């Protein structure tokens, strides 16, 4: 009985030791991962900073103006080109311009082409059976 | 018992002990016997001896483990030695500094990480070889100087700050022991000289030397960063686009009128924010050595100038506010004003009695001088003091200048100062006063940081009455309609303005052909939001200006261009119809004509 208890105690001891070490190494592993990730984050942040500076440098008004003068056929906005939204004319009523044109052509009206006339005549002259 | 012990001893000692066979050894001599008995004593396995032995062993082990435990404790408690060179160099690295943004969040100043090459002289084996190899890779490092630095007994020296990635690779491939890299912060100003005077610059070690860079150092931000807080960016009052536009137009104006220098600024009159500012010639803060050139000073806050006729606005406001005159009052400008052997003339002489608005639109020196005389020397001094014109203007920028105030301020001084001669102030200071005349009468100190109107007006003292402020707005508007400021009357904006032309003092005398011209404009005049200032130093007359070099022709024109260009950027909507009742207070006081647009007049 005592021997079994001893064996159990030893087993528990070894087990807990293994468990403790596992946890310890996992902790170390996670800590290292954190440090690594922090380093990467720092690197990324630094890169973002550099890119932001580069973006600000490339979009500085001086450069944009020079490029616009060279490549764009635009001129500075004049004050009479700026109006308030309420000054803009309202939306015109919807007009079916194509339909109106077609209507003016008179396509819908009856025609007197020979074929139609013949058809009419045939219809009217059909003798009752 | 004794027998047993004897046996045990025999068994344990394996014959080394001479107890058992002592009889056979004895004849060899007594010395052997003594040694033998000694061994027997040491290695005896007798029980009465083993107890102290075990105790001894226990003590020894206890001692050894005690020493180990003590040493462990010692290691644990001892502070970390400066193990890595990084720590040793920590104070040599530029501290991180907060970004500076413009009012819309555009980046004005930022930090980037760059690699710097350092060396630890003590760890370098062959210093001459190291110098040779390093200078081959980094050609702009002075070999002689580097050898000297490596020869020093320091633990850490910089070889070169801010190397390119390619150079870093090359140095790395040299494989020199004792040479390494450290990431360091480098301050960059992506917009170059735009807003340089406001931003200032920081040196290689990350210490602010001038401008806002110096100001933020004084705010304890570096300590915050050291304590582990990340630095929040600082939002300035500047608008990057407007600042660029102002600088661009100013540069064109300087080139066109062949001026020596110039400055321009836009001030938000209600919050005191400097929205745009340029002073030319300027410098690029990315190469800060240029900043030391005395010609590159910030002319708006470091330079002091006689502001000329723009000061008449202050004089008239003073006389109006103290009740010495009313808008309908008549001022005698028929003859030049004599004082002792001095005579005050009018540039646009009319030789008649002028009304107050006419004094302003004709920019009459005589009229302004007479008004100041009505107030008197003491009253004049007190009013200018109240307007902040007699003391140094303190903003976030450390660079500022004391105004040049006459030591013995007599009546003659009061007369000349009334029309802007004899008192030199920083242009920004004059802007602050005119802004107070325009915004309803509150003296708001200019700032270079973003500020809300409530914050600005919280402790802004009232310097003139609201009616006086409105009268001044009316006068400035009238001046833009029919007076000297006509050229800056941009259609669609309700501009008010005042010109100022001051003869420069050369060798103690007013020069005949060197002038300093200023122009101030408020926009819109009925409810001012922005105050524009342009200052040109020694502009020349041009054929197209009929040879005139007075402010309206040059500074006025530049201001007009600036207003036209920055108005939309600053979000001021152009108005097709001008306001019908721009000056309600004046109408209530019986000056209904103030609300009727004036026509005609002359252009100067």
Query: 3-state SS string over A2-34?
Result: HHHHHHHHHHHHHHHHHHHHHHHHHHHHHHHHH
Determine what percent of chain B is predicted with pLDDT higher than 90: 20
Whole domain around residue A69: which residue ranges? 30-73
Minimum mean pLDDT range among B21-25, B158-162, B265-269, B290-294: B21-25
What is B88-235's CATH number? 3.90.1310.10
* DSSP 8-state symbol, B289: G
Residue A96 belongs to a domain: no
Tell me which architecture the domain covering B243-595 has in CATH: 3-Layer(aba) Sandwich (3.40)
Which of B116, B237, B301, B309 is catalytic? The answer is: B309
Q: At what angle do helices B466-482 and B427-438 cross, to 10 degrees?
A: 110
Residue B119 has pLDDT above 70, yes or no: yes
Tell me: cis bond preceding B524? Omega within 30 of 0 counts: yes
DSSP string of B139-180, one letter each residue: TTS-HHHHHHHHHSS-S-EEEEEEE-HHHHHHHHHHT-TTEE
Residue A49 belongs to a domain: yes
Does the CB of B164 have a partner CB in chain A at under 8 Å? Answer: no
Interface mutation target, options B104, B182, B190, chain A, most CBs of A under 10 Å: B190
From A42, which residue of chain B is nearest by alpha-carbon distance? B113
**B517 is written with which tokens?**
């011209």
Which residues face B235 on adjacent strands?
B101
Out of A60, A80, A82, name the one closest to residue B573 (CB): A82
Tell me whether residues B492 and A80 touch, CB distance under 8 A: yes
Q: Which residues are CB-contacts of B514 (< 8 A; sequence separation ≥ 6)? A: B503, B504, B506, B538
Q: Are strands B261-268 and B274-280 parallel, antiparallel or unpaired?
A: antiparallel
Minimum mean pLDDT range among A76-80, B114-118, B386-390: A76-80
Query: For B546-599, what is each residue's pLDDT tens digit?
Result: 777 788 888 888 999 999 889 888 888 888 777 777 888 888 877 777 777 776
Q: How confident is the model at residue B15 (pLDDT cuts 50, 70, 90)?
A: very low
Residue A55 belongs to a domain: yes
Contact B269, B439 (CB under 8 A): yes
Q: What is the pTM of this model?
A: 0.75
Q: What is the dihedral of CA B406, B408, B411, B416, to 10 degrees?
A: -20
Residue B334 has pLDDT above 50, yes or no: yes
Range B378-385 average pLDDT: 91
**B353 is written with which tokens?**
């009695």
Tell me: cis bond preceding B222? Omega within 30 of 0 counts: no
Q: What are the φ and ψ backbone dihedral angles of B521, each rounded to 5 degrees?
A: -135, 140
Place of tokens 């005609």: B600
Tell me whether residues A53 and B113 touch, CB distance under 8 A: no
Question: Rounded to an integer, what distance in angstroms lies between the CA atom of residue B11 and that of residue B20?
Answer: 10
* Residue A52 Cα to chain centre, angstroms: 22
Kindly list the residues from chain A whose CB atom is less than 8 angstroms away from the CB atom of residue B568: 77, 79, 82
**A21 is written with which tokens?**
């070490």
Question: Rounded to an integer, what distance in angstroms lies between the CA atom of residue B308 and that of residue B253?
Answer: 20
Q: What is the dihedral of CA B471, B477, B478, B480, to 10 degrees?
A: 150
**B474 is written with which tokens?**
């009316």
Residue B443 has pLDDT above 60, yes or no: yes
Does the CB of B252 have a partner CB in chain A at under 8 Å? Answer: no
Question: Rounded to an integer, what distance in angstroms lies between the CA atom of residue B285 and that of residue B442?
Answer: 35
Name the 3-class secondary structure at B99: coil
Q: How confident is the model at residue A46 (pLDDT cuts 50, 70, 90)?
A: confident
Contact B552, B601 (CB under 8 A): no
Nearest-CA neighbor of B397 among B306, B247, B297, B307? B297
Residue B331 has pLDDT above 60, yes or no: yes
Residues of chain B with CATH 3.40.710.10: 243-595
Q: What are the φ and ψ backbone dihedral angles of B343, each rounded to 5 degrees?
A: -130, 135
Kindly list the residues from chain B whose CB atom is less than 8 angstroms away from the CB atom of residue A62: 191-192, 194, 244, 248
* Residue B388 Cα to chain centre, angstroms: 22
Residue B11 has pLDDT above 50, yes or no: no
Contact B116, B168 (CB under 8 A): no
Residue A124 belongs to a domain: no
Tell me whether residues B244 and A77 touch, CB distance under 8 A: no
Question: Rounded to an integer, what distance in angstroms lies between the CA atom of residue B106 and that of residue A56?
Answer: 8
Residue A35 belongs to a domain: yes
What's the pLDDT score for residue B224? 64
Domain count, chain A: 1
What's the pLDDT score for residue B27? 54
Kindly list the residues from chain A whose CB atom is less than 8 angstroms away from the CB atom of residue B564: 79
Kindly list the residues from chain A whose CB atom is less than 8 angstroms away from the CB atom of residue B188: 53, 57
B116 is catalytic: no
Residue A114 belongs to a domain: no
Question: Rounded to an integer, what distance in angstroms lies between the CA atom of residue B547 and that of residue B507?
Answer: 25
Does the CB of B113 have a partner CB in chain A at under 8 Å? Answer: yes
* Residue B3 Cα to chain centre, angstroms: 102
Does the CB of B86 have a partner CB in chain A at under 8 Å? Answer: no
Interface mutation target, options A46, A53, A69, A80, chain B, most CBs of B under 10 Å: A53
Does the CB of B112 have a partner CB in chain A at under 8 Å? Answer: yes
ipTM for the whole predicted complex goes beyond 0.85: no
């Amino acid at each position: 009985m005592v021997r079994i208890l001893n064996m159990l105690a030893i087993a528990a001891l070894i087990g807990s030791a293994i468990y403790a070490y596992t946890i310890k190494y996992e902790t170390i592993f996670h800590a290292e991962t954190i440090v690594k990730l922090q380093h990467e984050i720092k690197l990324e942040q630094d890169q973002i900073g550099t890119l932001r500076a580069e973006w600000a440098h490339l979009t500085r008004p001086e450069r944009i103006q020079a490029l616009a003068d060279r490549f764009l056929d635009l001129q500075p906005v004049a004050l009479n080109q700026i109006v308030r939204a309420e000054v803009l004319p309202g939306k015109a009523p919807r007009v079916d311009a194509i339909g109106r044109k077609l209507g003016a052509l008179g396509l819908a009206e009856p025609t007197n082409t020979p074929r139609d006339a013949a058809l009419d005549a045939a219809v009217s002259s059909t003798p009752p059976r | 018992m004794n027998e047993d012990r004897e046996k045990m001893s025999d068994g344990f000692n394996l014959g080394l002990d001479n107890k058992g066979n002592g009889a056979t050894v004895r004849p060899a001599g007594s010395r052997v016997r003594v040694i033998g008995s000694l061994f027997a004593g040491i290695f005896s396995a007798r029980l009465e001896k083993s107890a102290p032995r075990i105790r001894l062993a226990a003590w020894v082990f206890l001692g050894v483990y005690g020493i180990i435990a003590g040493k462990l404790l010692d290691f644990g408690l001892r502070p970390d030695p400066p193990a890595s060179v990084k720590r040793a160099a920590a104070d040599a690295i530029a501290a991180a500094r907060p970004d500076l943004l413009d009012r819309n969040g555009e980046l004005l100043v930022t930090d980037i990480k760059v690699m710097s090459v350092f060396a630890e002289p003590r760890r370098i084996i062959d210093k001459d070889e190291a110098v040779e190899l390093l200078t081959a890779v980094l050609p702009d490092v002075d070999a002689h100087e580097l050898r000297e630095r490596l020869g020093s007994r320091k633990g850490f020296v910089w070889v070169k700050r801010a190397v390119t990635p390619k150079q870093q690779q090359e140095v790395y491939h040299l494989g020199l022991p004792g040479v390494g890299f450290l990431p360091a912060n480098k301050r960059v100003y992506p917009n170059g000289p735009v807003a340089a005077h406001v931003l200032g610059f920081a040196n290689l070690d990350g210490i602010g030397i001038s401008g806002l860079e110096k100001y933020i150092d004084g705010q304890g931000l570096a300590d915050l960063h050291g304590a582990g807080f990340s630095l929040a960016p600082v939002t300035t009052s500047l608008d990057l686009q407007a600042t660029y536009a102002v600088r661009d137009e100013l540069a064109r104006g300087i080139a066109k009128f062949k001026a020596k220098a110039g400055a321009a600024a836009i001030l938000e009159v209600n919050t005191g924010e400097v929205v745009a500012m340029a002073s030319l010639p300027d410098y690029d803060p990315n190469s800060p050595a240029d900043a030391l050139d005395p010609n590159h000073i910030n002319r708006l806050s470091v330079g002091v100038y006689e502001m000329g006729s723009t000061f008449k606005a202050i004089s008239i406001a003073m006389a109006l506010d103290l009740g010495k005159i009313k808008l309908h009052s008549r001022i005698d400008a028929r003859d030049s004003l004599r004082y002792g052997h001095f005579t005050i003339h009018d540039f646009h002489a009319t030789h008649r009695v002028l009304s107050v608005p006419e004094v302003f639109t004709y920019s009459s020196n005589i009229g302004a001088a007479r008004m100041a005389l009505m107030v008197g020397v003491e009253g004049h001094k007190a009013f200018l003091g109240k307007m902040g014109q007699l003391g140094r203007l303190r903003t976030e920028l450390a660079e500022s200048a004391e105004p040049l105030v006459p030591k013995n301020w007599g009546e003659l001084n009061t007369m000349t100062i009334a029309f802007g001669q004899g008192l030199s102030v920083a242009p920004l200071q004059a802007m602050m006063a005119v802004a107070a005349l325009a915004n309803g009468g509150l003296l708001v100190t200019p700032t270079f940081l973003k500020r809300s109107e409530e914050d600005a007006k919280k402790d802004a003292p009232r310097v003139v009455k609201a009616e006086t402020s409105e009268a001044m707005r009316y006068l400035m508007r009238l001046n833009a309609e029919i007076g000297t400021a006509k050229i800056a009357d941009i259609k669609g904006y309700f501009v008010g303005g005042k010109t100022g032309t001051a003869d420069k003092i050369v060798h103690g005398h007013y020069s005949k052909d060197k002038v300093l011209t200023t122009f101030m404009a408020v926009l819109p005049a009925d409810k001012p939001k922005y105050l524009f200032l342009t200052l040109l130093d020694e502009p020349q007359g041009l054929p197209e200006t009929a040879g005139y070099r007075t402010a309206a022709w040059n500074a006025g024109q530049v201001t007009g261009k600036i207003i036209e260009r920055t108005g939309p950027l600053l979000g001021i909507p152009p108005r097709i119809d001008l306001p019908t009742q721009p000056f309600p207070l004046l109408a209530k006081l019986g000056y209904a004509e103030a609300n009727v647009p004036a026509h005609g007049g002359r252009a100067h």
